[in-house]
Structure 1
Amino acid sequence: MQNARTRSVALLAIAAGLPAVEALILAALSFRAALGLTPQVTAVWPYDTYHDLRWLLVYHDSWLGFAVGLVAVVVARGVLTAVLIMLAWPDGTAPSLRWLIWRNVRISALVVMIISPWAMLAVAAAGVSLSWYLLASLLPLLLLSPFLQRAGVVRQWWRGLPTIELTGWTLLNFAVLTVAGAVTSSGIGWLVVPAAAVAGAANGLLWQRTVRAAVRPARVRWARVPVAPVAVVGVFVAAFVAQNVIGISAGVRRPWRPPVLSETLPGTVDHAVIVLAGYGSSYAGEPAADRNVERFSYRGLDDQERPLPYAPTDTQQSLQTSAEVLAAHVDALHRRTGRRVALVGQSEGAMVVRTFLEIRRHPAVDTALLFSPLVQPGRAYYPPPGESTGWGVVTGWGLRGIFALASATKQTKDDPDEPFVRSILDNAPFYRNRSLCEVPGVRIVAFLPTVTAAEAPPGEYTRVPVFQIPAFHGGVIGRAVAQDRLVDTLSGEAVSLRRSEYAPFQRLAAGWQAPPLLLSVNPVWRGSDQADPALTGRICESG
């Protein structure tokens, strides 16, 4: 009895102590945006490895550095897991520590291989701020956790279905980590350290339950069937299928004609309007219903200053190039109508509008409506393919492999190095800090789908009025309520709505995001005068 109590105390001390240490370090560095990850340090598999890989994939600057870090992650995680399993083993009948270490180091290497593509998608989500990637990267964790939790404990872990009990405990750990991440990321100062310790202690209790459920399972179904390899192969296939389904923008692949284009505007609107579609859109040249409304073309204007038809590949150009094209369009429309110009952009179109307002603002533009803008993009980095060093260099090549395989059968290829993506990564200080900041003389309203709550770390994310709608990315502009508020804004009315669930969703997602790459460490960004929201929790500030 005394031995069991001693082992339990040791288990809880280790499980609680390590998250507390990481929280202490991050709090000392004022690294607010990464605090949500701390409870995962001692979580059950694969949540613990997912924690390690996201740090490594963001914070390495060479192939050698990545290789050394990967070996360290595999060995350290294997040894730690072996110790936790030994302390959690029921009735003190655990195998030798040497056997557990040897087994769990090998399993650690296997888990790294399985989880890496999904951890890379989480980094991609931080780069372009798309919650689709983040949500997709979590699915294999939920699926594989019951299988992998058996792997470090029993020899025949790959045969048979996990028991309901084991599945329930591992899913509970996911829920605990989600809530704990929300607590530790809530800006509670040094209280984050005991909060992380409490979450770690909960991990320790769950280690006891999961190890017991793995060692002494109830009736195992399909006991002779190699279910785990099938599940693992399915996850690998899904890693590439997910990218193919999602696309780099989760954007529109069908004809795009929201109400602002298909309906005439009321007489209360005295603006000319340019409407910008998002990534992957196309345009056949059809005019808008209202003569004072025009569709933006990523290819520009023809000789008669009419928008040219464009294909999905034309949306892949840099935001700076698109902003220059928009400047010519604004000038032409203003001269033709004599009206003030309002800009209405969706997704990439919203980012084109914001870039235009920064680098080529026209005096005729006094209103900008941003539908589904990217919220704090540019939180990760990887160098162009011609460079052999740089932060995230291995991650970049991993994403190129994922995108290449996923795009093999697609007519329009998605590329993590295309000019649109690179323009965000290379100018991350501006897009991370100032995308939703005020511009003197311009009314800006951001129409945000609630799913964007999962896209950015907790903290300040806007200093312009926002109108939040329960929707997925790109699904706002077609809503009737959004069209009504669009007309209200163009008519001069104040529009704003913040939903009560947005901030809690923002915090609940914090633990599953990739840690941001600090602006100060990347030489590509050091010339910027922008402050880092990852440290301050605020935006629109100078460095």
Structure 2
Amino acid sequence: MVEEALLVAVDFHAARGLAPQVTAVWPYDSYHDLRWLLVYHDSWFAFVVGLLVVTAVRGVLSAGLTALAWPAGTPRPAWGWLVRRNLEVAALATVVISPWAALSVAFSAVALSWYLFASLAPMVVLAPFLARAGVVAKWWRGLPKIELFGWSSLNFVVLTMAGALISSTPDGWTVGVAGVAGLANGLLWQRAVAVAARPGRRRLPQVPVAPIAIALTIAGAVFAQTLIGIAAGGKGMWRPPVLAERLPDRVPYAVIVLSGHDSRWDGDPPADPRVERFSYRGLDAQGRPLPYSPDATHQALDRSAALLADQVSALHKRTGRPIALIGQSEGSMVARTYLERLPPGPVTAVVMFSPLVQAGRTYYPPPGHEGWGVAAGWELRILLWLANLPRSVKDEPDEEFVRSVLANAPFYRNRILCPVGGVRMIAFLPTISAAEAPPGEYSRIPVFEAPAFHGGLLGQRTVEDRVVAFLAGEPVEQPRREYRLLQRLGAAWQAPPLLLTVNPLWSATREADPAQTGRVCEPR
């Protein structure tokens, strides 16, 4: 309730859903602490001091909660033992969970739901082990009781629902909702401690199951990069129907299709001469787009937008038609950057598939500099260095694409789905990735929402028909109720955004901050 009251007092709209985790059962409490710390430290000194403070506070608080929740009729360890043990668990949780908390910071930087889902899985797996660790001596041996899995999983559900309710409640009532969530946390502490403390038959009693689970969790933070991809779009050769089939005659545009991060193109031409692929390498001497490799997509968005301007001019000159842009993920960001930085010119229609909704919500400085999120940045560099060892195409947390998003975060956070004068626009949004967007307003252009993961819409026949209808001038819009519901359900698990006014790199901009207002496209 104290944290929620503070968030309401400073109008921190986007982070209100995190407050119920302050008194959650392990490891959700430590996950809460680490996300705040990894975002809100501006030097190594501040990070180290903050880490020591939150670890100590978490250990003592958890010892007190464990003592209060201890079941009647069962001998309770001495207070000193409980404090020492819970301080050890707090330190262990910091080591194990910190890589996943760093991934959540990366998720907020590039707004990819894959990161969010990946960072939650180890929390659910580790919860019954860490909940037992603060209660019994030989906690690392054997499997936790099935009831402990149940109570810790129920805490995940409670925290998710509490974050959704707080995000749906007016400011004046959210402190009360946080209080109810705290009551639920207390009951769950009581049940979890009772199950862990009472003697009973344990499966695999001689097997060090907990250390194995912890080792796999830490390793998973590295291999998650390969499994989920750091890419903001589909890898490899992307060939949706708009490239494989001729456009109907009722479409008046010439079309440029912009693929996503880590995509490639070998020069194979589209089926319709009115359609071109955008090349991240630019044009040849004859004004034709050049083939490109995945590395080319790692360049800064401003550089890609300048190349797009040249290709728009060349295609308009060749066809004499107005230009429509169809972008996927990073391609959508290139198209929107072009509209912001350069005159739209002959571009009069833009279709955005899986754009990065409110990207740039966190920050970390370049190597060799201190600033907000410095420790998170180095943690991501270590994780990605390990993940890149077997890979031919390296994804770097400091590649030009990512740094351009971080440097221009006020624009990408506030205006990516805002209208542009003289340009018809629509965003095709996958509902599963609604967790990318913090609760609140996210678009002021028409949206077509359909069940899919990030990057999974274009290529579906129904969606392709809607694209053609939009290009033919027909109204196309399909918002879905579950999108806003999924936004709210994801609120508890996002990293808190770094406020625009805090970071000197951003504070000079005139952009409003959706993290505080809950609205986008606010006047400059």
Fold conserved between structures, TM > 0.5: yes
Please say if 1:343 is aligned against 2:362.
no
Partner of 1:55: 36
Partner of 1:251: 233
Partner of 1:226: 208
Q: 1:462 to 1:217 in 2, by over 3 A?
A: farther
| Residue identity matched to 2:372 | W
Secondary structure of residue in 1 paired with 2:348: strand
CA deviation string 1:206-253 (max 9, x = no partner): 000000000115321001110000000010111111112222125322
Secondary structure of residue in 2 paired with 1:342: strand
Rounded Cα–Cα distance in structure 2 between residues aligned with 1:386 and 1:325: 30
Counterpart pick for 1:296 among 278, 289, 298: 278
Partner of 1:360: 342
Partner of 1:10: none
Summarize the alignment of residues 432-511 of structure 1 with structure 2, pairs less than 5 Å apart. Answer: 432-511=413-492
Please say if 1:206 is aligned against 2:206.
no
Please say if 1:149 is aligned against 2:131.
yes
Partner of 1:105: 87
| Residue identity matched to 1:24 | A
CA deviation string 1:64-122 (max 9, x = no partner): 00000000011000000000000000116322222211111111001100000000001
Shift of 1:446: 0.2
| Residue identity matched to 1:378 | G
Partner of 1:216: 198
Shift of 1:188: 1.6
| Residue identity matched to 1:513 | Q
Please say if 1:391 is aligned against 2:391.
no
Please say if 1:431 is aligned against 2:407.
no
Shift of 1:254: 2.8
| Residue identity matched to 1:163 | K
CA deviation string 1:289-329 (max 9, x = no partner): 01100010000000111110000000000000000000000
Aligned length: 523
Secondary structure of residue in 2 paired with 1:161: coil
Partner of 1:526: 507
Shift of 1:187: 4.2
> Which moved further from structure 2: 449-458 or 202-211?
449-458
CA deviation string 1:353-385 (max 9, x = no partner): 000000113321100000010000000000001
Q: TM-score, normalised by structure 1?
A: 0.95
Secondary structure of residue in 1 paired with 2:429: strand
Partner of 1:27: 8
| Residue identity matched to 1:471 | A
Please say if 1:406 is aligned against 2:373.
no
Indicate if the aligned counterparts of 1:159 and 1:222 stay in contact, CA closer than 8 A: yes
Partner of 2:17: 36
Partner of 2:217: 235
Q: 1:318 to 1:95 in 2, by over 3 A?
A: same
Partner of 2:307: 325
CA deviation string 1:510-533 (max 9, x = no partner): 000000000000000011110000
> Which moved further from structure 2: 358-367 or 520-529?
358-367
CA deviation string 1:45-69 (max 9, x = no partner): 0000000000000000000000000
| Residue identity matched to 1:206 | L
| Residue identity matched to 1:399 | L
Secondary structure of residue in 2 paired with 1:345: strand
CA deviation string 1:261-296 (max 9, x = no partner): 000010100100000000000011111101100010
| Residue identity matched to 1:325 | L
Secondary structure of residue in 2 paired with 1:91: coil
Rounded Cα–Cα distance in structure 1 between residues aligned with 2:26 and 2:172: 28
Runs of 4+ in 1 over 4 A off after TM superposition: none
Rounded Cα–Cα distance in structure 1 between residues aligned with 2:356 and 2:423: 19
Rounded Cα–Cα distance in structure 2 between residues aligned with 1:486 and 1:113: 47
Unaligned runs of 5+ in 2: none
Partner of 2:516: 535
| Residue identity matched to 1:503 | R
Partner of 1:285: 267
Please say if 1:91 is aligned against 2:72.
yes
Partner of 1:76: 57
Partner of 2:100: 118
Counterpart pick for 2:164 among 182, 195, 205: 182
Shift of 1:469: 1.1
Indicate if the aligned counterparts of 2:260 and 2:297 stay in contact, CA closer than 8 A: yes
Summarize the alignment of residues 1-16 of structure 1 with structure 2, pairs less than 5 Å apart. Answer: none
Indicate if the aligned counterparts of 1:74 and 1:108 stay in contact, CA closer than 8 A: yes
Q: 1:187 to 1:523 in 2, by over 3 A?
A: farther
Secondary structure of residue in 2 paired with 1:501: helix
Rounded Cα–Cα distance in structure 2 between residues aligned with 1:340 and 1:386: 46
Counterpart pick for 1:45 among 14, 26, 38: 26
Indicate if the aligned counterparts of 2:164 and 2:488 stay in contact, CA closer than 8 A: yes
> Which moved further from structure 2: 273-282 or 450-459?
450-459
Rounded Cα–Cα distance in structure 2 between residues aligned with 1:446 and 1:432: 16
Identity level (%): 60
Indicate if the aligned counterparts of 2:235 and 2:260 stay in contact, CA closer than 8 A: no
Secondary structure of residue in 2 paired with 1:299: coil
- RMSD (CA atoms): 0.9
Q: TM-score, normalised by structure 2?
A: 0.99
Q: 1:285 to 1:208 in 2, by over 3 A?
A: same
Shift of 1:542: 3.2
Shift of 1:182: 0.3
Indicate if the aligned counterparts of 2:233 and 2:259 stay in contact, CA closer than 8 A: no
Rounded Cα–Cα distance in structure 2 between residues aligned with 1:408 and 1:380: 26
Rounded Cα–Cα distance in structure 2 between residues aligned with 1:485 and 1:245: 31
